[in-house]
Chains A and B, each alone.
Chain A
Amino acid sequence: MAESGKIDPMHQFAIEPLFGTGHLSIGGFNIAFTNSALYMVAAAVVLWIFVVGGMKRELVPGRWQMAVEYMTGFIKSLLIANVGEGGKKYIPYVFSLFMFILLANLLGLLPLGLLGLHPFTFTSHFTATGILAIISFSIVLIVGFWKHGLHFFSLFVPHGTPLPMIPIIFPIELVSFMVRPFSLGLRLFVAMTAGHVLLKVLAGFVINSSNAGIGYGLTVGSASFILMIGISALEVLVAVIQAYVFALLTSVYINDAENLH
């Protein structure tokens, strides 16, 4: 990275083993505790602390309990709106998914680089988002076939499809269904990666233009900095929206599995 002022906007996504665990492995597979794993643990711990604060179970809630109940209520209404009353049993999963992704996105945006740390957003890695997408998709498949058996395939034949159209519609619907885990995982990965790259590129502008001279620094540098402030705010919004989209699409897919059409 630090080659004569060169700033690599991709370096932030680099995974490196921490605490000398680089060769930790199970059955031949490397399971090094990396900076990515550290942020996963951090997201889980922060979420645990957040929810523990809401466990006071008071009739008249305090602020913290109110916040936690607001989040669970938000997920509950999301599921009821998309799946109906039967969606309530997915509250634990969708809540975990939404909060885990949300905290991962937000923790990755913390300006810890100022303290010399390496902030990391594991949702900008499709190895992570892909797993979450596959879990969501597996739940859809398992619930779908569990509840409806082979009738689940009627999902690929929309209501009122004329008989001669079925051989054409069925593969199209099947493909669009099979693409879901990819779109689910890639959307989050791309949104996070793009936002962080943009911020790093602009930060690079600020540094490089300032190094090039005071005139460049005041014009290009300050303009980029102002833009960065706006985009940072936008990234916070994107962090929330992408977590919401992931949870929303998961609940929409669960609706397919629960209620077919």
Chain B
Amino acid sequence: MPQIAQIAETYSSQIFWLLLTFGFVFFVIGLGMVPKVQGTADARDMKISGDLDAAKAAFARADEAEADYRTRDAESRAAVQAMLAQAKADAARDSERKLAAADAEVASLIGVAEARIQAASNAAMEQIETVAADAARDMVARISGVDASEEAARNAVKAALAHG
């Protein structure tokens, strides 16, 4: 086995060249170049995660804007509904009031008319009584020759009219 057989004459050369080459590898490549390579990879990872974060934030903002829009939409819908209801109620109340006023006017007109009719019919009744009393006095005078007093004739007519 040369590893053991040659150890006495080769160990120093093995150690020397290994330290030299591995030293080069460690100091030049490991310390000099690897951090730069790793730095590039880290910077890229950072950029990717930064971009992802930005995209996520933009998504969140978009969601927020949409939610905002939805609430505003709902709010304005509710406001319009309220306005509509208010207008309806106002209109109903207004028409009710106008109707009531018209009713009252009509009722008062009817009352006045009825009173006039009553007065007219009373006046007519009065005239009928007067005419009937005159007629009754005439008839009494012609039949019996007695001049009946106006008052008696009137009372008799009233009684007769009352009996119908």
Expressed in whole angstroms, the Cα–Cα distance for A20 and B23 within the complex equals 25
Chain A residues in 8 Å Cβ range of B24: 44, 48
Cβ contact within 8 Å between B2 and A91 = no
Interface residues in A26-52 by Cβ distance below 8 A to B read 26, 29-34, 36-37, 40-41, 43-44, 47-48, 51-52
Among B38-46, B68-76, B102-110, the one that faces the other chain is B38-46
Task: For A131, give its contact among B15, B41, B47 (CB under 8 Å).
Answer: B15
Chain A residues in 8 Å Cβ range of B11: 127
Q: Is A92 an interface residue (CB 8 A)?
A: yes
Chain A residues in 8 Å Cβ range of B10: 15, 30, 32, 34, 36, 127
Interface residues of B, Cβ cutoff 8 Å to A: 1-3, 6-7, 9-22, 24-26, 28-31, 33-38, 40-41, 43-44, 47
Expressed in whole angstroms, the Cα–Cα distance for A122 and B30 within the complex equals 20
Q: Is A55 an interface residue (CB 8 A)?
A: yes
Cβ contact within 8 Å between A128 and B1 = no
User: What string of 1s and 0s marks CB contacts (under 8 Å) between A78-102 and chain B?
Assistant: 0000000000000111011001100
Chain A residues in 8 Å Cβ range of B36: 55, 57
Q: Is A54 an interface residue (CB 8 A)?
A: yes
The minimal Cβ–Cβ distance linking A195 to chain B, given in whole angstroms, is 14
Cβ contact within 8 Å between A125 and B14 = yes
Cβ contact within 8 Å between B15 and A72 = no
